[in-house]
Structure 1
């Protein structure tokens, strides 16, 4: 399941230095020869390089998938209810028991809760059942040759050659996502090299067939991305009828004592980490679900860029650790795609940068909505409504 850049693609991009004028395009065979020369210059033998590229072919289906990757328009409640089925809950609990020793080790070494990785495992590959059927070597070389993001994918090809050298990658048979991600939690070759863990002790890191390898590697990856050991990531809260709604959102982190002074309180139990700061998340405005996002929540955005996906994955992680079903509240209805495009056009006419007029409630549109709500004296919760559309 992918929205915007695929999972872990952004993380890899953030940790890969930009390469000036990365070679791309031209004849595919000539491009492959250039990759071979670069691989040998990095110390790989001619036999290794020839063996890796022997079966590599350009894959037009990969390019088609890259160009049609979509961004969804479902609101958080609808999306979460679709993704978090009873079956996924039951299988998550079952896998938590089955791999209890692995999850205990992950918590000791990386400080990551089982729920976090179980949620990613569920959403990325349905607990390993759907890992993708694109030939990974073909996908990576095809996307490196394509001139849209060669600086991202060329290093992945070279990393895959190293995995091949280690006996952990078969260029003819290894398959995964269209963007080159491999295994149960979908990691790119460079990330596997840097964060791969032999969780089952067989001397190899095999993310497609070994759940301990995949889960341990995912835990180490999260730690690498900045996960703070033993800290929570999300907690559902109740909000008062009135407050300064402009403080909600991803841009404002406040001590929990300040949120509490404004009337924000845990929906059940106590604050999970009263000494930390948190951000008030209102995915459907002040009348809908409400959460406090702790610092670890930010790490999710280095795994995936989609706000709704990230919030759903984070929430599912809390559910798997025993949190109750969230209170959906009674939010104002979401605008349809046509209405959202009309709103974006009006916001742009008022001088706001909302990016492409695409009917999608992204960060730019939310910021513009909040600004106009403040200007018009409406509750500035960044949730677009028919009232705001009419006022504009």
Structure 2
């Protein structure tokens, strides 16, 4: 999950008292973690070895606060992530690991294009897995008070992996947010969804593509993936369409109901006319348009970023043989500073924008669309200078 605002797949809920256990002296915080681990049944000797060399990593905090790539518009973001080399490598890896993908399809029903897209974006097919010490990263983020409810359980999950012999506190490395392996899974996800895909008796996500891909597939399946169903399809939106009906929160019960109001697939026919579906415009009504089926929502369980999810879902369609999209001619968006100003103005009007971060997330999109509709502007949830000026 790289590095995508952190993954929802590990957003476990903790009691309020535990969620507040963060900050203060780092060594004191580690002592509290050790005491809790022992209360939960870990031996003192194992706990002492696990935490013996843990250190706060300020580089982790800098990475956590500098995810500027998510401020880029969809066409820019997707062109950066979907290179010709990545596309070709995806096709080659699809052929190379054909037997594994066939087993995944039988066991979990997850399409190979989806897993190939995540494998590409997470680690360039295993080539770039991150060199942050995993235990240091997790303890640092648990100590930090931004999201302790997410990362504190991961520390104890990492301790469990250590007890199993599947994690080395000194040598296990990965992404800055504590994810490990080719598809970047957090320790609790590994415990719950790890699969020995190559039959060697171990779940080795850093070096075994079979283990990594099957574990990722099992996790997606557990998060609600619907076997054999599509996730995204490019469509054409008519000029007179009511743009306020776009957005993931405005699904129709059947995809074919969108055809009745003038929306048609850009090529071919609807993948699944009887499935629920929404229309999304990642870069406004002058940019690409997609119909999103239920499996598209599962992508958000892997990553919270709308632009990342849409890019991964689109890349998955390309890896499955789909055509390149029509980029259209979208209106210029806002840079990060202007987006922050817009979020401040929206917040002042009573909208919950999910934080003043300059990122066009779901809450900001909803607020933008509501104000566009109020002001008589195209209500496509794409913020422009015209909207900012009007506010």
TM score, norm. by length of structure 2: 0.92
Q: Kindly indicate whether the alpha-carbon contact (under 8 Å) linking 2:94 and 2:116 is maintained by their aligned counterparts in 1.
A: yes
- The Cα offsets for residues 8-35 of structure 1, whole Å up to 9 and x where unpaired, read as 3x2211x444452453344434433333
Q: Kindly indicate whether the alpha-carbon contact (under 8 Å) linking 2:73 and 2:307 is maintained by their aligned counterparts in 1.
A: yes
* Partner of residue 20, structure 1: 17
Deviates more, 1:350-359 or 1:318-327: 350-359
Aligned length: 389
* Partner of residue 152, structure 1: 150
Q: Kindly indicate whether the alpha-carbon contact (under 8 Å) linking 1:3 and 1:305 is maintained by their aligned counterparts in 2.
A: no
* Partner of residue 217, structure 2: 219
* Partner of residue 365, structure 1: 364
- The Cα offsets for residues 166-185 of structure 1, whole Å up to 9 and x where unpaired, read as 22111110001111110111
Q: Kindly indicate whether the alpha-carbon contact (under 8 Å) linking 1:3 and 1:306 is maintained by their aligned counterparts in 2.
A: no
* Partner of residue 198, structure 1: 196
Aligned counterpart for 2:41 among listed residues 37, 40, 43: 43
* Partner of residue 183, structure 2: 185
CA RMSD of superposed structures (Å): 2.2
- The Cα offsets for residues 352-390 of structure 1, whole Å up to 9 and x where unpaired, read as 444555544333332233223222333322223344445
Distance 1:204 1:339 in 2: 49
* Partner of residue 283, structure 1: 282
Distance 1:390 1:38 in 2: 53
Cα 1:100–1:33, aligned 2, differ >3 Å: closer, same or farther? Answer: same
Q: Kindly indicate whether the alpha-carbon contact (under 8 Å) linking 2:70 and 2:308 is maintained by their aligned counterparts in 1.
A: no
Distance 1:368 1:56 in 2: 43
Cα 1:342–1:278, aligned 2, differ >3 Å: closer, same or farther? Answer: same
- The Cα offsets for residues 187-235 of structure 1, whole Å up to 9 and x where unpaired, read as 1111100010001111111111111111101001111111111111101
Cα drift, residue 51 of structure 1: 2.5
Aligned counterpart for 1:240 among listed residues 227, 238, 242: 238
* Partner of residue 76, structure 1: 74
Q: Kindly indicate whether the alpha-carbon contact (under 8 Å) linking 2:2 and 2:184 is maintained by their aligned counterparts in 1.
A: no
Cα 1:103–1:30, aligned 2, differ >3 Å: closer, same or farther? Answer: same
Q: Kindly indicate whether the alpha-carbon contact (under 8 Å) linking 1:112 and 1:227 is maintained by their aligned counterparts in 2.
A: yes
Distance 2:103 2:354 in 1: 44
Q: Which runs of 5+ in 2 are unaligned?
A: none
* Partner of residue 5, structure 2: 5
* Partner of residue 95, structure 1: 93
Distance 2:249 2:309 in 1: 16
- The Cα offsets for residues 249-277 of structure 1, whole Å up to 9 and x where unpaired, read as 11111111210001111111121111101
Q: Kindly indicate whether the alpha-carbon contact (under 8 Å) linking 1:3 and 1:71 is maintained by their aligned counterparts in 2.
A: no
* Partner of residue 300, structure 1: 299
Cα 1:54–1:338, aligned 2, differ >3 Å: closer, same or farther? Answer: closer
Counterpart secondary structure, 1:236: strand
